[in-house]
Chain A
Amino acid sequence: MFEAILLTVITASTPLVIASLGELVTERAGVLNLGVEGMMIMGAVCAFAAAQLTGSPHLGILAGILGGAIFSLLFGFLTLTLVANQVATGLALTILGLGLSGQIGEAFVGQPGVKLPPIVIPLLSDIPFVGRVLFSQDLTFYLSIALVIGINWFLFRSRTGLKIRAIGDSHASAHALGINVIRTRYLAVMFGGACAGLAGAQLSLVYTPQWVENMSAGRGWIALALVVFASWRPWRVLAGGYLFGAVGVGQLHAQAFGVGLPSQLLSALPYAATIVVLIIISHNRRTTLINTPASLGKPFVPDR
């Protein structure tokens, strides 16, 4: 029983962690993309369609990543090249993604899906309990853990990561130092899109292997809240992702057992927790300065 719940929590948390990590990199570069939900659902429909048509779930994963990344390019073009308002553009991207995915997915409604098979790691998976929970998972789970470690190293140890953080802190100074702000931000936006797409692919190939309209069901918004909840730190995204994922699963079980807690209250919990974290970090000027990308959401036009 406990093991079953744990497995559901992992499956429910993985897309949150992946999408949130992508948005974390985007925001560390100073771009606020509120279109995570839209990119996620586009990833989900592309992944499902590709897997259905080719019969290969791995091609489906690839299609999900590409779908999310290409869709995010639209956001990049509007906000970085045409310097449109990031908040408005992000919201528009979500609305567009939800509509467009419904259109694309119309033919696939009710079709049987292709499930991404688990990868059972030899030896490790023989460890009692832990082996079945952690080492008999599908590709997306392993990827999510690798992304946490990789992004943490990349942002805080590599020189390119340093440049991304510098751009997020002050794009004008970064430009003055000769860093190509626009190009780096394009790449960061596309990385965010690719992660959101991968998260969407997990939804339509692992979580519920079928295509249902609006199947992202607000997970993109939770991923956005999660970035702030984690104060822009990858390991905290992992912890927060599992916390929020567990809350979601707990909500279902509570309903099943007829616990008298309104489900709306539980679904609001991630957002309430995010607000609490925001209050805590904004209390101290120093932690805010050091953790929050100072140029987040601000448009950048280089003077030439």
Chain B
Amino acid sequence: MTLSEGPATVPLLSVRGLTKLFGSFAACSAIDLDIAPGEIHALLGENGAGKSTLVKMLFGVLQPSAGQILWDGSPVTIASPGEARRLGIGMVFQHFSLFEALTVAENIALSLDPRISLSRISDEAASLSKAYGLPLDPKAHVADLSVGERQRIEIVRALLQNPKLIILDEPTSVLTPQEADRLFETLFKLKAEGRSVLYISHRLEEVRRICDRATVLRHGKVTGACDPKLETPASLARMMVGSDVAEVHRDGETPLGDTCIEVSDLSVPARTPFAVSLKNISMKVRAGEVLAIAGVAGNGQGELFDALSGEYPVAEDEAIRIRGKAVGHTGINGRRLLGAGFVPEERHGHAAVPAMPLSDNLLLARSQSDRKAFLSAGFAAIVRHDAIRSATRRICEAMDVRKSGEDPLAGSLSGGNLQKFIVGRELDRQPAVLVVNQPTWGVDAGAASRIRQALIDLAKAGSAVVVISQDLDEIFEIATNIAVISEGKLSKAYPAGTLSLERIGLMMGGVHESHSIPEAAHAYRA
């Protein structure tokens, strides 16, 4: 009388009908999720799909409005992060919950049993970090560490509590590819030890590479559960976005017009010891053209953007011309008045003030260049709130910016939505010249394709567009011509169809002078 094969393994964590309401807005509605012991489970979704809200409920930071959480098959209430840790749930946050003023060991000590001495924590953290290939100095102050090192603290902190489930929220969004590879090795080690990992991401390739199962969220609801290794990026994206991610169209060649922005023999010395100096940069962008500037981060992209935008005017007035006018000495607003628009790389604090609403951010950027539209005539220059509000609404509609409320704080938008707003803020002026630095960095697939399409459409309408980007897929998607920046030197611009990936790779590595252009057969775009 043997019993049947034994019950199917009880999931380590089950979520049934979990719902979180903020006012009338359902950030998560009726979520079901099962995580088996020893699996790497992906939670996929676009920015704003409700992933972060869900994991905050699992970690006790937020309380669910309805639904149930089962741990090892029995229902639990996770009232606080402390409770979650006692159950065996560890968490690595997307925005690190680290204290800059404290040392690594002190940071770790804060989430552990207070009876354990600091020196013991230092020792254990050091040995653990060695075992998992996450080198760390326990005595270093967090303020002095890189982003990758800070993430290691979070991981080691979670591991020290010997958790059965580790939740990682967008862990690779801040890492270099090499750091990401190291992280994956650590995750495989954890899996081999029988621990489960809940891996939150919107990066499809990554999820297919390391995850055993995936649950897909959209607008706060589960839209699919699958084995990501059996899916294609396109099919995963469809579950995430709800429809096929709009492919970027550039039907037909646009006839090129007059030169709109021209740089001739521009050299700029480095402003700080860590900056790159620009050396003899020349480029020319005509109406209807998208010039993409490729390069590995830190090769002078930021410095070039500063020179083009006028954030730091350059010594030689003639070195930069916008629509024929020498503007080297002119500041940002002067250049904007000539019909140029600029989108810097940093969303928070540079392109937008996070603590101000969208309408104020709009006014800040355009109070000079669109003075007539937003300010009353005369000396008093009273702000015309109705005009600004309607412009904000227009931009949000044009770029499909998803937000809560009429005019939320810029900082409350997800990265992708804020970026759409910032790009839309410039596009709304129909600039004759647009210079964008890293237009889709850290942005989800749907928002990225929207932004890229908008840039192409702008060029088609007769503007000159300069895109500085590290994303080669993006560059090949939108560029008419491609130049490469390396060590502050800019290569000649080549038509996009004539360049292969390998060749760009070589150029990014600093091999500039090559006499033959590879045949189009090797070209990335067939």
> Could you list which residues of chain A lie within 8 angstroms of chain B, going by C-beta atoms?
159-160, 162-163, 165-166, 168-170, 172-174, 176-179, 286, 289-294, 303-304
Contact B99 A304 (CB under 8 A): no
Flag if B62 contacts A286 (CB, 8 Å).
no
Closest 4 CB pairs of A and B: A173-B97, A178-B82, A178-B81, A159-B114
Binds A, one of B103-111, B238-246, B249-257: B103-111
The answer to whether A165 and B102 touch across the interface, beta carbons within 8 angstroms, is yes
Instruction: Tell me if B63 is interfacial: C-beta within 8 Å of chain A.
Output: yes
Q: Are B114 and A165 in contact (CB under 8 A)?
A: no
Q: Nearest-CB distance from A32 to chain B (Å)?
A: 16
**Is the CB of B80 closer than 8 A to any CB of chain A?**
yes
A289 touches B62 (CB 8 A): no
Select from chain B the residue with minimum beta-carbon distance to A303: B62
Smallest CB gap from B117: residue in A: A159
Contact B114 A289 (CB under 8 A): no
Check A162 against B101 for contact (C-beta < 8 Å).
Answer: no
Closest to B79 in A: A178
Tell me, in angstroms, the Cα distance from A243 to B102 when the chains sit together.
29
Which of chain B's residues have a CB closer than 8 A to the CB of A166? 99, 102, 106, 110
Q: Are A289 and B143 in contact (CB under 8 A)?
A: yes
B102 adjacent to A162 (CB under 8 Å): yes
B61 at the interface (CB under 8 A from A): yes
Report A-chain residues with C-beta under 8 Å of the C-beta of B111.
177-178
| Inter-chain contacts of B102 with A (CB < 8 A) | 162, 165-166, 169
Contact with A along B50-82 (1 / 0, CB 8 A): 000000000011110000000000000000111
A159 contacts which chain B residues (CB < 8 A)? Answer: 109, 114
Minimal Cβ-Cβ distance residue in B for A158: B114
Query: Is B141 on the interface with A (CB-CB < 8 A)?
Result: yes
Establish whether residues B63 and A304, one from each chain, have CB atoms under 8 Å apart when the complex forms. yes
Contact B81 A286 (CB under 8 A): no
Min CB distance B300 to A, Å, is: 24
- Which chain B residues numbered 34 to 61 have a C-beta less than 8 Å away from chain A? 60-61
Q: Does B100 contact A (CB under 8 A)?
A: yes
The answer to whether A177 and B81 touch (CB under 8 A), given A289-B143, A304-B63, is yes
Does B93 belong to the interface (CB within 8 Å)? yes
1/0 per position for B135-171, CB-CB distance to A under 8 A? Answer: 0000001011000000000000000000000000000
Residue from the list A163, A286, A303 in contact with B110, Cβ < 8 A = A163
Say yes or no: A165-B97 contact (C-beta < 8 A), given A178-B82, A286-B144.
no
Asked whether A162 and B63 contact (CB < 8 A) given A173-B97, A286-B143, A289-B143, the answer is: no
Would you list 5 pairs from A and B whose C-beta atoms are within 8 A, ordered by A residue?
A: A159-B109, A166-B102, A170-B99, A289-B100, A292-B101
Q: Which residues of B contact A168 (CB under 8 A)?
A: 101
Interface string of B82-104 (1 = CB under 8 A from A): 10010000000100111111100
Can you add 6 more A-B contacts, CB < 8 Å, to A162-B110, A176-B93, A290-B143?
A165-B102, A170-B100, A173-B96, A177-B110, A289-B141, A304-B63
Q: How far, in angstroms, from A216 to B194 measured CA to CA in the complex? A: 65
Instruction: Report whether A162 and B97 are in contact in the complex, using a CB–CB cutoff of 8 Å.
Output: no
- Whether A294 and B100, one on each chain, are in contact in the complex, defined by CB atoms closer than 8 angstroms, is yes
Task: Quote the shortest CB–CB distance from B115 to chain A (angstroms).
Answer: 9
Q: B101 contacts which chain A residues (CB < 8 A)?
A: 165, 168-169, 289-294
Q: Contact: B98 with A173, CB < 8 Å?
A: yes
Considering only residues 117-145 of chain B, those with a C-beta below 8 Å from chain A are: 141, 143-144
How many angstroms from the CA of A179 to the CA of B114 in the assembled complex? 12
Is A172 a contact of B110 with CB atoms below 8 Å?
Answer: no
Could you tell me which B residues sit within 8 Å of A by CB distance? Answer: 60-63, 80-82, 85, 93, 96-102, 106, 109-111, 114, 141, 143-144
- B contacts with A: majority SS: loop
In the complex, A303 Cα to B61 Cα: how many Å?
8
Q: A177-B110, A286-B143, A290-B143 are in contact. Are A172 and B62 (CB under 8 A)?
A: no
Give bound CA distance, A286 to B85, whole Å.
Answer: 32
A304 to B22, CA, bound (A): 9
Nearest Cβ distance between residue B200 and chain A, in whole angstroms? Answer: 16
How many Å lie between the Cα of A225 and that of B102 in the bound state?
24
A178 touches B141 (CB 8 A): no
**Chain A residues with CB below 8 A from B97, complex form:** 170, 172-173, 176-177
Cβ distance B447 to chain A, nearest Cβ, rounded Å: 25
Query: How far is B96's CA from A176's CA once the two chains are assembled, in angstroms?
Result: 10
- Asked if A169 and B93 make an inter-chain contact with CB atoms under 8 angstroms apart, the answer reads no
Given known A-B contacts A162-B109, A289-B143, A176 and B61 have beta carbons under 8 A apart = yes
- Report the minimal beta-carbon distance from A160 to chain B, rounded to whole angstroms: 8
Cα distance A286–B142 when bound, in Å?
10
Interface contact A169-B109, CB-CB below 8 Å: no
Considering the complex, give the chain A residue whose CB is closest to the CB of B107: A166
Q: Is the beta-carbon distance between B81 and A176 smaller than 8 angstroms? A: yes
* Interfacial chain B residues near A179, Cβ < 8 Å: 110
Residues in A neighbouring B85, C-beta threshold 8 A: 178
Q: Which residues of A contact B141 (CB under 8 A)?
A: 286, 289-290
Which B residues touch A176, using CB under 8 A? 61, 81, 93, 97
Q: How far is the CA of A267 from the CA of B110 in the complex (A)?
A: 43
CA distance A249 to B60 in the complex (A): 56
- Considering only CB atoms, which chain B residue lies closest to A289 in the complex? B143
A residues less than 8 Å from B63 (CB atoms): 304
How far does the alpha carbon of A33 sit from the alpha carbon of B176 in the complex, in Å?
43
A168 to B101 Cα, complex, angstroms: 9
Q: How far is the CB of B139 from chain A (nearest CB, A)?
A: 13
Closest to A176 in B: B97
Tell me whether A162 and B106 are in contact (CB under 8 A).
Answer: yes
Q: Which residues of A contact B114 (CB under 8 A)?
A: 159-160
Chain B residue with the shortest CB-CB distance to A160: B114
State in angstroms the CA–CA spacing of A293 and B99 once bound together. 10
Q: Please, which residues of chain A bring their CB within 8 A of the CB of B62? A: 303-304
A300 to chain B, nearest CB (A): 14
Q: Which of B80, B81, B82, B100 contacts A169, CB < 8 Å?
A: B100
Cα–Cα, bound, A172→B143 (Å): 17
- Compute how far the CA of A105 lies from the CA of B111 in the bound complex, rounded to whole angstroms: 48
Roughly how many angstroms separate A178 CA and B111 CA in the complex, as a whole number? 8
B92 to chain A, nearest CB (A): 12
Q: How far is the CB of A117 from chain B (nearest CB, A)?
A: 41
Given contacts A178-B81, A303-B62, A304-B62, contact A173 B143 (CB under 8 A): no
Shortest Cβ distance from A170 into chain B, in angstroms?
A: 6
Give, as a whole number of angstroms, the nearest-CB distance from B103 to chain A. 10
Instruction: Collect the chain B residues with CB atoms within 8 Å of residue A173's CB.
Output: 96-99
Interface centre among B81, B110, B141 (most CB of A within 10 A): B110
CB neighbours (8 Å) of B81 from chain A are 176-178
Contacts of A294 in B (CB 8 A): 100-101
- CA gap between A293 and B101 in the complex, in Å: 8
- A288 → chain B closest CB, angstroms: 9
CB distance from A185 to the nearest CB of B (A): 16
Q: How far is the CA of A150 from the CA of B63 in the complex (A)?
A: 39
